[in-house]
Amino acid sequence: MADTPIPLEVRNIKKRFGDTEVLKGLSLTAQKGDVITLIGASGSGKSTFLRCMNLLEQPDEGELVVHGEQILFKETSKGREPADWKQVVRMRAKLSMVFQGFNLWAHMTLLENVIEAPVHVLGKPKKEAIAHARELLERVGLSARADAYPAQMSGGQQQRGAIARALAMDPEVMLFDEPTSALDPELVGDVLKVMRDLAAEGRTMIVVTHEMAFARDVSSQVIYLHEGRVEEAGAPADVLENPRSERLKQFLAPKH
């Protein structure tokens, strides 16, 4: 459909920390329903790239277009900054992030976590937000835990709760930063299952992960990053099954 805006377009993002250039010009287009997985060795810039997408990090160069809206930047003495923080707040509300360390708000119950941003950022009526939150908790299998605090839940439950919190925003795009890396192996499956369901229902997702089976089965596109550059990108069948670069072959080789 020509008239529905593209959920997220990222063009030529560059980012340096001090003297080291961590992202050396990265681009990506997430069409509606795309699941893009970012893979790469630790330190290759996956998290930084993801964090640039919702401006938790400020890219030094490059463009962001969220749901057709171009993000405006201005040059300051301290470097480039968003020109309009209201716009940033608005775009962040469209991109929900799921963190490696869950980051559910510790002083709120699970239900309170899920309704927090819809009520206070989007201005949704509380009653409506609660009803929606209960549906979402049901979906991620946590109905019984609505009144629990994060510290009372397992890592897997917290991460599924964090996914419910992300869904509550009705996001254009969901950003996942290694959502299963901090979990005990036996808890990973539940979280991946929820993510597979989301992909199946046509959610637009950008996922940093080391779960190759997930990447292979679910992605529309796989991007392999090496030292802040795209080394290889394409359909999972090409990138994961027939890697061209030596480095990617090494990276994918089973480690013993």
Partner 1 sequence: MIDLHGYGPRLAEGALITIELAVLSLVLAILLGLATASAKMSRNWVLHRVATLYTTIIRGVPDLVLMMLLFFGGQIGINMITDMLYDRFGVDIFINVNEFIAGVVTIGLIFGAYMGETFRGAFMAVDAGQIEAGRAYGMNHWLVFRRIRFPQMMRHAIPGLSNNWMVLLKTTALVSVIGLTDMVRVASEASKATREPFTFMIIVAVIYLLIASLSEWGFARLQKRYDVGYGEAD
Ligand X SMILES: Nc1ncnc2c1ncn2[C@@H]1O[C@H](COP(=O)(O)OP(=O)(O)O)[C@@H](O)[C@H]1O
User: Which residue lies nearer to ligand X by CB, 21 or 116?
Assistant: 21
- Based on the shown chain and the rule CB under 6 A, indicate whether residue 44 belongs to the binding site for ligand X: yes
Picking from 200, 218, 190, the residue whose alpha carbon sits closest to that of residue 36 is 218
Measured from the CB atom, the residue of 73 and 224 that comes closer to ligand X is: 224
Should residue 104 be labelled a site residue for partner 1 when binding is judged by CB under 8 A? yes
36-69 b/e with 16+ CB inside 10 Å = b?
bbbbbeeebbbbbbbbbbbbebebbebebbbbee
216: tokens are 């292979």
- Write the single-letter amino acid at 30: A
Residue 48 binds to ligand X (criterion: CB under 6 A)? yes
Contact pick of 42, 123, 185, 246 for ligand X (by CB under 6 A): 42
> Quick one: which of 7, 9, 40, 166 contacts ligand X (CB under 6 A)?
40
Which residue, 13 or 129, has its beta carbon nearer to ligand X? 13
Minimum CB separation of residue 40 from ligand X in Å reads 6
Q: Does 180 bind ligand X (CB under 6 A)?
A: no
**Minimum gap (Å) between residue 60 Cβ and ligand X:** 13
Strands (E), the chain: 8-17, 20-30, 35-40, 61-66, 69-70, 73-76, 79-82, 95-98, 173-177, 205-208, 221-226, 229-234
Interacting residues of 120 by C-beta distance below 8 A, sequence separation 6+: none
Which listed option, ligand X, partner 1, Mg ion, none, makes contact with residue 48 (CB within 5 to 8 Å by class)?
ligand X
CA distances from 151 to 41, 121, 132, 246 (A): 31, 25, 23, 44
Q: 56 contacts which partner out of Mg ion, partner 1, ligand X, none, CB within 5 to 8 A by kind?
A: partner 1
Nearest to 195 by CA among 187, 186, 203, 183: 203
Please report, as ranges, the residues that interact with partner 1 according to CB under 8 A: 54, 56, 85, 89-90, 92-93, 96-97, 99, 101, 103-109, 116-117, 120-122, 148-153, 165, 169
Residue ranges that bind ligand X, judged by CB under 6 A: 17, 22, 40, 42-48
